Amino acid sequence: MALMDATINNGDAAVAVPVDAEAGDCETPSPPRTTIASRYEIDLDSAQPTGALALLCPGRDLRTRRGVTVKSLRPEFQDDPEKRARFRREARLLAFLAHPHVIRVFDFVEDHGASWVILEHVRGQHLSDLIREHGPFMPDAAARIIDQVAAALTHLHGRGLVHLDIHPDTLILTDDDRVKLVDFGLAQPVGELASAVDRDQPNRLAYRGPEQFEGGQIGLATDIYALGCLAFELLTGQPPAAATASGDAAGSPIPPKRQSTLPTPLDEAIRRALATTSTDRFPSVEAFSRVFRAAAGGERVVDIATAPVNAATNEQSAAGLPLQPKRILPKHERATGVGHWLGRGADRLSDLCWRAVAALGLANLLLAAALFLSEGAVPGIYEPSTTLAPGADARVTIADWRVRDGPGLDATALWALSVGDDLTVTGEPIAADGRQWWPVSLERGDDQARGYVAAEGIAAERQTPLDRLRSAIGRD
């Protein structure tokens, strides 16, 4: 058994929470074992329900020998077209997300009359289990969790998607104190109308924003509402009392009230995140996490509504907190004598430092120009995949990008590529799953292998300016 130190508010004492990291270890699954896609060995006897639709079971990749977690629809939903479509949509979404706080998808296969998603195996406990067993978290520990969940949501929001199911049941705290977002079954594009609220899981209704109950337009603010609910439950051990588990006659939550059990800065931050009107909430999950972290330290941020979220200005720090203005001393207060001459010496040293920085910047600029002339680009910058064509050389631009045996996410993943790997485009792209898939060839040892890759993860090799000049004058 391994111990994971999660700081929990248990009265006035901080306790270490024991987590059995070996429980459900998928390195040695117990019989009976089922093999799917001739590659993944899974232990169906150890399957556990997750959410309202799916099951999780431990497994092992027979090629790489690594442990995996396998997710599949429950047997009663395997023949339901709507449930299978939702399950496929979640798999496709996860396959194109790459973030340290989002669970990784390795593969998606169809076998034995069912759909299977092959996931990263995460060791740890769901936040819901930790809260139920050990009570609320201390504010600083809660702030660290909120920071990580906000980072995952920022990654998702940057791709035009909202999660819609932030809840302690969908978050795992790993044995190295990292939070992983593990369920994306309700995620959908920003701006769509809210789907009917799923009442099969009443414990999650308290996390649904008013716009979800009313069938309104969902957006980033919907996830901010759920993140505020999570912050409240981390600090109190209970979901917000203002959001009822069953809902009123219309199914909509009640606006939040002042919580005397919380310090004022934390209470104000959470109440704003839980505002009934979405435009009254924070402008982003990142803004909420910043204010919540400050509040956890006892600070109160007043002017976050006008503060920029992603950039600092002269009046506002990057953290969203007011900066202290510089004080210009009047003439009669300025230093004289030895202090004055020391100050002038410091000014000269500062001037020399700035000149050195300017010279270094110029040297970097000249180096970049030389690289551009010789290589066609500064390293790490590639042309977009729209310049790809049959016969072109290409390079992988996203880590762990997959080569599959056919176009589409339903095709078997053959290899994982690294950033910078070289490929050759062998034909015209094929549309599948709403994306373009290029046929490519690559070297695998002494063999030339072939497969398909999604266009988002590769880019054409640049032809350098020197190459173009040689072509123009007919030189080799």
**Of the candidates 450, 445, 385, which has an alpha carbon nearest to the alpha carbon of residue 424?**
450
> Regarding predicted confidence, which is higher, 86 or 461?
86
Helix, strand, or coil (residue 7): strand
pLDDT of 112 reads 86
Distance CA 1, CA 221 (A): 40
pLDDT of 315 reads 30
pLDDT band of 359, cuts 50, 70, 90: confident
pLDDT of 399 reads 75
pLDDT of 323 reads 26
5, 124 in Cβ contact below 8 A? no
> Regarding predicted confidence, which is higher, 473 or 262?
262
The domain segmentation of the chain, as residue ranges, is 34-120, 124-244+251-297, 392-468
> Regarding predicted confidence, which is higher, 233 or 193?
233
Q: Say yes or no to pLDDT of 468 above 60.
A: no
Distance CA 259, CA 269 (A): 11
Report the Cα–Cα distance between both ends of the chain, in Å, rounded: 65
- Mean pLDDT, to the nearest integer, of 210-220? 84
pLDDT band of 348, cuts 50, 70, 90: low
CATH architecture of 124-244+251-297: Orthogonal Bundle (1.10)
pLDDT of 66 reads 92
Distance CA 369, CA 463 (A): 15
Share the mean pLDDT of the chain. 75
- Mean pLDDT, to the nearest integer, of 48-56? 83
Q: Say yes or no to pLDDT of 118 above 90.
A: yes
pLDDT above 70 coverage of the chain, percent:
68
Superfamily of domain 392-468: SH3 Domains (2.30.30.40)
C-alpha neighbours within 13 Å on the C-beta side of residue 351: 6
For the stretch 302-345, pLDDT in tens is: 655 433 343 322 333 223 333 223 233 333 333 444 444 444 55
Distance CA 417, CA 413 (A): 11
DSSP H helices in 96-239: 127-134, 139-157, 210-213, 220-236
Q: Say yes or no to pLDDT of 222 above 90.
A: yes
pLDDT above 90 coverage of the chain, percent:
31
For the stretch 17-27, pLDDT in tens is: 333 333 344 44
Q: Say yes or no to pLDDT of 356 above 90.
A: no
> Regarding predicted confidence, which is higher, 446 or 449?
449
For the stretch 391-422, pLDDT in tens is: 888 888 887 788 888 888 877 778 788 888 88
230, 146 in Cβ contact below 8 A? yes
Distance CA 147, CA 443 (A): 42
> Regarding predicted confidence, which is higher, 131 or 2?
131
Helix, strand, or coil (residue 55): strand
> Regarding predicted confidence, which is higher, 157 or 94?
157
Helix, strand, or coil (residue 352): helix
Amino acid at 152: A
For the stretch 139-176, pLDDT in tens is: 999 999 999 999 999 999 998 899 999 999 999 999 99
pLDDT of 347 reads 57
pLDDT band of 36, cuts 50, 70, 90: very high
For the stretch 268-301, pLDDT in tens is: 999 999 999 999 999 999 999 999 999 999 888 7
Lowest-confidence pick of 45-49, 311-315, 331-335, 362-366: 311-315
Q: Which CATH number fits domain 34-120: 3.40.50.2300, 1.10.8.590, 3.30.200.20, 3.90.1150.10?
A: 3.30.200.20
pLDDT band of 127, cuts 50, 70, 90: very high
Q: Which two tokens stand for residue 285?
A: 């999950």
- Mean pLDDT, to the nearest integer, of 219-243? 89
pLDDT of 199 reads 52
Q: What backbone torsions phi and psi does residue 424 show, to the nearest 5 degrees?
A: -125, 125
Tell me the CA distances in angstroms from 265 to 259, 270, 291, 323, 339, one per residue in order: 11, 9, 9, 19, 43
Cβ burial, residue 388 (10 Å; 0-12/13-18/19+): buried
What are the respective helix, strand and coil percentages of the chain, to the nearest 5? 35, 25, 40
